[in-house]
Structure 1
Amino acid sequence: MDGYDFHSVSLSVSRLAVYYGQGKAEREHISLSITLTLLFRSVGAIIFGLAGDLYGRKWPMVINLMVIAVLQLATAFCETFQSFLGVRALFGIGMGGIWGLSASMALENMPMEARGLFSGILQQGYALGYLIAAGINMGVVPNSKHSFKMLYYIGAGLTFAVALARCCFPESKQFIEAKRNGGDEISGKMKVRLFMNDARKILREYWKRCIYAVILMALFNYMSHTSQDMYPTYMQQTKGFSAMASSKATMIAKTGAVVGGTFCGYYSQFFGRRATIMIACALGAALIPLWVLPNTFASLVTGAFLLQFMVQGAWGVVPIHLNELSPPQFRSSFPGICYQLGNMISAPAAQISATISESLEIHVRGEVRPDYAITQAIMMSVIFSLLLVWTACGQEQRGSHFELAKTAGEAEGKERELEDGDKHGVEAVEMAQR
């Protein structure tokens, strides 16, 4: 639902441009909403990520999903472009918490030997959401009197349903164990203070790794948003295909993403996290000509399938790679915040692509069209190269048993209890002596 809700805008850029005013300038303005959503996701990652590490994975996730459902519904009722931008900015805050909570919750409950595979499956929920949205955009939206708003109505309902479903499953094992060990006996203020003390220690120790992870995620997000967000617009405006055909192309591309993410996630368990990412980047760069040069539908969608296989193949490694690199007790906030700060840096990707492409013109059968193909080809070539080099400069901790770590503040809380106990014991001896 994270993927569905976000890509509802990118799938309906042309319809939104017509709804809020016609012309190529409006397509650039609609892409601004994607930028705002990405910018504000880091705020949500901080809020919900810290809540997930402090109070558990379950209820922060449920609240987060309900916030997204409300804002998705509100998007459909925006009558002015300004209100649309405001709601999508708030939507970014809601969306920012989902990834970190999901990755930490899912992977810490999986056997270590299966985490590569399930990292790929988990991450491709994002591509699957895109796939579902594209199917609805192709099959439901054209036949509905509500037009593109049906995407948001359906998205809100499905997201709310996922929130209700999450209520039926237990808390993560790590937090259940902390509760058994007396974690609930620590007062609320003390718990927050111990948590923040732990966080300060982690920042002092892991600050270099934080910077590395943020830049890594910035490159990853540039890669995905450059190849995905304006793809339907590229198919319609540059290649001249209908909205129906662009939705079909999106569905085929996202099928490649689902297969690629699962495949590469699985093999990262054997070849290593970094090696898998680097191979996917190299092969993805080699496939760029097939992605942009053909003009027939069959050739273009073949290129899209293979390119997204590699893009999301690299992405399939990310959830487990970041969780293994994280401080064990901050696996909701560290990956989520690094991911969303990277998103914030890459936020202008869609707008950069749209602005440059709309300024470049090509003539096809006497018709002037914006040239999204050359823009995307150059941007993706640079991004693939930078990501490959930056990944090679990093490290990995494949096989980490992070599920055995205590929750943030728990260890210090136990130490504080022992110190207090020793103090009371000394006072009792002194009183007896007096």
Structure 2
Amino acid sequence: METDRHALRADIARRLFRTDAGVALPDRMGLELELLPVERETGRVVPLEGEDGTKRLLAQVGLTFNWTVDPLGIHHAPCGCRVTFEPGGQIEISTPTAPTVDRAVDCLRAATDALATVGERWGIALEAVGFDPRTPLSHTRLQLDDPRYRAMDRHLARFGPAGARMMRQSCALQVNLDLGRDPFGRWQAANRIAPLLTALFANSARAEGQETGWRSWRAAQWRMLDPSRTGCVGPGHDPVREYLAFARAADPFLEATAWTEAGRPTAAWERHLSTLFPEVRPRGYLELRSIDAVPLEWVAAPLVVAAGLLYDPRSVARVRDALPFPDEADLGAAAREGLKDDIVRAMAAWAFECALEGAERLGAAFIGGAAFRTALDYYERFTAEGRDLSSPTASVGAQAG
């Protein structure tokens, strides 16, 4: 019905793209880093449960560093970070919204250092990699007994093993950015840089003990999943209409309940939106989902790139003018070849240079000297040489803390 479509469209415009936000606040930054907990001696992934499991590890971290746990089982660090588990037992650290890139990195470091300190005593390492490089898929299972994850697991199994790999073995770095005064401009630019972020920070070339042939095996899984809920939603001419069409086309696997009632979106609609996984997801802010987990020493680099390209108006305009809206072939090339592809390498290097210029215009009040130097160092050591974190000589800082 047209009334239902209008209600859903209005919800996407208001809640996901914040078109009625009024006066824009100063831009902020948030991030979510997923880490793989493994036994130092064997490389075996540490399970959630058990005497030496990660649930007990986090309990000990809480006792040692004065963390708290809420009724939902979410751990809260004094710096404001929230620590949770992913379906395969990965540990996710989510920073609070920060006023600067440096503050976001410092907060992440504080929480990660606490985990690593206790992990060291327990013989547990926290690996910052995009994909478990050792464990056969057949040796994994869902470690969170949650109805949502069970339903997702069943649905994605229809498309092959990529869903199980993604849920149980992958780790990402998600960068969260404000929509600002020009939400659609930032949305369009964010989608255009998505494959370049994958290529620049690829960190998952190995799986099950061997080379996969992909620079980012994590990103590869998303290319093999349900195409109705992945990819870049575009081409960006009318983001609200396009995202509504994207959402309505995706098969609702959680429940078969009406999305509107009395002309208003229902909770079922909100839950359905949470099962969509585009490269850039609007959530009242922009969630950039194209980056492999990276070692803590380099975390500032993708943050500077994202902010320099999307928070500086001149950079946004340059990206929208210079880069095409990506399709599945572009996303696949970035994941498979990365910077080995001459075209991807040229575009990625240009984007990184543009980001550094944008970061300088944003100034030290938002991107401090330490974060900027990290990004510049990454560009010189990796991007300018056509290398990424999956390169054989890029093993420095593979563990958090």
Q: Return the structure number with greater strand share.
A: 2
Q: TM-score, normalised by structure 2?
A: 0.30
Q: TM-score, normalised by structure 1?
A: 0.28
Q: Return the structure number with greater helix share.
A: 1
Larger RCO, structure (CA 8 Å, separation 6 or more): 1
Q: Which one has a bigger Cα radius of gyration?
A: 1
